[in-house]
């Protein structure tokens, strides 16, 4: 899934060049890392990328190994449920019994071997049963931006990883509930799912018919020249809803594979503190930083040195046309700044 806007990484992230297309940790972009970590497990010819029309050319440029017909272009964004439904219907034409792994293109996974083992275990479980499988990770703290998975009985282990029946799946609870879930041993939902395409399509038909039926109507056009026009006629009318709210919270037969994936959704500039090394003063810098009595600075300035004096807990991001200076405690408010630019008609900076 490579169609997100990534507004919290503005001004580096833009409408036509969002988070998944930029390099935040390592030389490769996040979408390139996502495809690369599947090497030896899933060949490029069996990888589908669903993206936005504004990003399709950049995706093709960054992922030349993916066949052109495997890049599915949404005419408008409608969250993850329509995205997954489109890919599942496309996959159904190729192999009705296929096992389908779904993963965001803009997450970071540092433990690739553990990830591959978890994915294989999830595929084995999905192939044997009509279950929906998600990969779960240990919470680092109570967080209201993630889904929580409450565990039921453990499934007989396959290899060294553990899998559990899911007691409940709660998307983005308020802080008090998130704190309670962490204390109860709940896992974060990584946003990575595995299931048979026929199983998720049946779940969509039951729980999200307003998405399933219109897309089913254009299924004959998928994979042929009429695909683009057919999608353009249907997609704007689809409801915008995530797979988490639309399906995972409602489906009765869900399973979670627990893994130490080194997972991070890299949701804001402050998350770089968790994935990149800091200097002795806690400064995380991408570019040259000259700091005097400066602590806990997050800096992205590849084009020019930045000097700071007596600053603490500040985000500084320099691009060719914009300079952002932000209190790190208000990193989530960058999205509001993007909205302000829209309201002021300053689209050239988006």
DSSP output for 206-272: HH-HHHHHHHHHTGGGTTSTTHHHHHHHHGGGS----HIIIIITT-S-EEEEE----EE---SGGGH
Q: What kind and span of H or E run contains 302? A: strand 298-309
Q: How far apart are CA 199 and CA 5, in angstroms?
A: 29
Please indicate, yes or no, whether residues 255 and 281 belong to a single structural domain of this protein: no
Q: By three-state DSSP, how is residue 294 classified? A: coil
Please indicate, yes or no, whether residues 307 and 335 belong to a single structural domain of this protein: yes
Picking from 267, 284, 318, the residue at the C-terminal end of a domain is 267
Q: Which of 155, 95, 93, 167 is nearest to 128 (CA)?
A: 155
Contacts of 206 (CB under 8 A, 6+ apart): none
Q: What is the pLDDT of residue 158?
A: 63
Q: How far apart are CA 254 and CA 131, in angstroms?
A: 5
Q: What is the pLDDT of residue 7?
A: 86
Considering only the C-alpha atoms of the chain, give the largest distance between any 2 of them, rounded to a whole number of Å.
64
Please indicate, yes or no, whether residues 297 and 259 belong to a single structural domain of this protein: no
Please indicate, yes or no, whether residues 59 and 203 belong to a single structural domain of this protein: yes
Please indicate, yes or no, whether residues 49 and 159 belong to a single structural domain of this protein: yes
Q: What is the pLDDT of residue 31?
A: 97
Q: How far is CA 204 from the centre of its chain?
A: 20
Q: What is the pLDDT of residue 143?
A: 86
Q: By three-state DSSP, how is residue 190 classified? A: strand
Please indicate, yes or no, whether residues 319 and 250 belong to a single structural domain of this protein: no
Q: By three-state DSSP, how is residue 53 classified? A: helix
Q: How far apart are CA 40 and CA 106, in angstroms?
A: 21
Owning domain of residue 302: 270-349
Picking from 199, 234, 267, the residue at the C-terminal end of a domain is 267
- Asked if residue 2 belongs to a domain, the reply is no
Q: What is the pLDDT of residue 115?
A: 96
Beta strands in 142-223, from DSSP E residues, in sequence order: 147-155, 162-171, 187-196
- Asked if residue 322 belongs to a domain, the reply is yes
Picking from 243, 267, 291, the residue at the C-terminal end of a domain is 267
| Per-residue tens of pLDDT for the chain, all 350 residues | 998 877 889 999 998 889 999 998 878 999 999 999 999 999 999 999 999 999 999 999 999 999 999 999 999 999 999 999 999 999 999 998 999 999 999 999 999 999 999 999 999 999 999 999 999 999 988 988 889 999 999 986 666 789 999 999 998 899 999 999 999 999 999 999 999 999 999 999 999 999 999 999 999 999 999 999 999 999 999 999 999 999 999 999 999 999 999 999 998 999 999 999 999 999 999 999 999 999 999 999 988 999 999 999 999 999 999 999 999 999 989 999 999 999 999 999 99
Q: What is the pLDDT of residue 145?
A: 85
- Asked if residue 313 belongs to a domain, the reply is yes
Please indicate, yes or no, whether residues 207 and 91 belong to a single structural domain of this protein: yes
Q: By three-state DSSP, how is residue 154 classified? A: strand
Please indicate, yes or no, whether residues 121 and 212 belong to a single structural domain of this protein: yes
- Asked if residue 1 belongs to a domain, the reply is no
């Amino acid at each position: 899934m490579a169609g997100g806007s990534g507004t919290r990484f503005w001004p580096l992230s833009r409408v036509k060049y969002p988070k998944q297309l930029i390099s935040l940790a390592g030389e490769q972009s996040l979408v390139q890392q996502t495809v690369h970590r599947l090497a030896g497990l899933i060949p490029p010819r069996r990888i589908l990328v669903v993206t936005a029309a504004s990003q399709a050319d950049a995706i093709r440029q960054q992922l030349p190994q993916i066949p052109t017909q495997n890049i599915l272009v949404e005419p408008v964004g409608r969250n993850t449920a329509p995205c997954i439904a489109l890919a599942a219907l496309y996959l159904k034409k190729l192999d009705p019994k296929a096992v389908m792994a779904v993963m965001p293109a803009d997450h970071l996974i540092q433990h690739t071997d553990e990830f591959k083992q978890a994915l294989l275990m999830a595929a084995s479980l999905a192939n044997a049963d009509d279950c929906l499988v998600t990969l779960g990770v240990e919470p680092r703290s109570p967080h209201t931006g993630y889904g929580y998975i409450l565990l039921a009985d453990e499934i007989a282990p396959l290899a060294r990883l553990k899998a559990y029946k899911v007691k409940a799946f709660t998307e983005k609870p308020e802080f008090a509930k998130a704190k309670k879930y962490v204390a109860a041993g709940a896992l974060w939902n990584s946003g990575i799912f595995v299931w048979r395409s026929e199983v998720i399509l049946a779940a969509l038909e039951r729980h999200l018919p307003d998405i399933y039926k219109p897309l089913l109507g254009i299924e004959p056009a998928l994979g042929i020249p009429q695909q683009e026009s057919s999608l353009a006629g249907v997609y704007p009318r689809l409801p915008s809803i995530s797979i988490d709210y639309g399906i995972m919270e409602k489906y009765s037969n869900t399973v979670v594979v627990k893994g130490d994936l080194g997972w991070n959704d890299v949701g804001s500039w402050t998350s770089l503190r968790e994935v990149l090394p800091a200097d002795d003063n806690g400064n995380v810098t991408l570019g040259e930083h000259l700091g005097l009595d400066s602590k806990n600075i997050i800096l992205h300035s590849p084009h020019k040195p930045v000097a700071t004096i007596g600053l603490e807990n500040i985000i500084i991001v320099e691009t060719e046309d914009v300079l952002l200076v932000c209190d790190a405690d208000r990193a989530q408010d960058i999205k509001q700044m993007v909205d302000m630019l829209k309201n002021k008609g300053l689209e050239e900076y988006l």
